[in-house]
């Protein structure tokens, strides 16, 4: 089973290399996966812990998408935007993130909590 990337640089790329998909963390190397989906999932798990930028490439090398991930990143962006969560909202967010729900389920739960 492939080992997931544990980036500390805050920048990770997923690209096709020799018919398989690599999760690369700058000069530190990375991990190899049979599919792009598995590589992206591993990169997202790694970046969710410390935050950073994920660049996903197409098989031809062109950039498919770029994502900014992680709690620290969200905190920095919220600070720039002037957004501050109250204690109840922070608890809700923490509980939803720890629940094991998919991202879509998390969005639905948060949305439902704030509907009037």
pLDDT exceeds cutoff 50 at 106: yes
Q: What is the pLDDT of residues 53-101, one digit of tens each?
A: 889 999 998 999 888 776 665 666 666 666 677 888 888 888 888 888 8
| Three-state SS letters, the chain | CCCCCCCCCCEEEEEEECCEEEEECHHHCEEEECCHHHHHHHHHHHHHHHCEEEEEECCCCCEEEEEEECHHHHHHHHHHHCCCCCHHHHHHHHHHHHCCCCHHHHHHHHHHHHCC
pLDDT exceeds cutoff 60 at 110: yes
């Amino acid at each position: 089973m492939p080992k997931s990337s544990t980036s500390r640089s805050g920048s990770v790329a997923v690209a096709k290399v020799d018919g398989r998909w690599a999760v690369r963390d700058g000069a530190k190397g990375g991990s190899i996966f049979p599919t792009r989906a598995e590589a992206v999932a591993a990169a997202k798990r790694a970046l969710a812990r410390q935050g950073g930028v994920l660049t996903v490439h197409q098989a031809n090398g062109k950039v498919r998408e770029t994502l900014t991930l992680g709690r620290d990143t969200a905190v920095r962006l919220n600070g720039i935007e002037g957004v501050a969560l109250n204690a109840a909202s922070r608890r809700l967010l923490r509980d939803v993130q720890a629940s094991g729900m998919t991202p879509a389920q998390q969005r639905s739960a948060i949305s439902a909590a704030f509907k009037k």
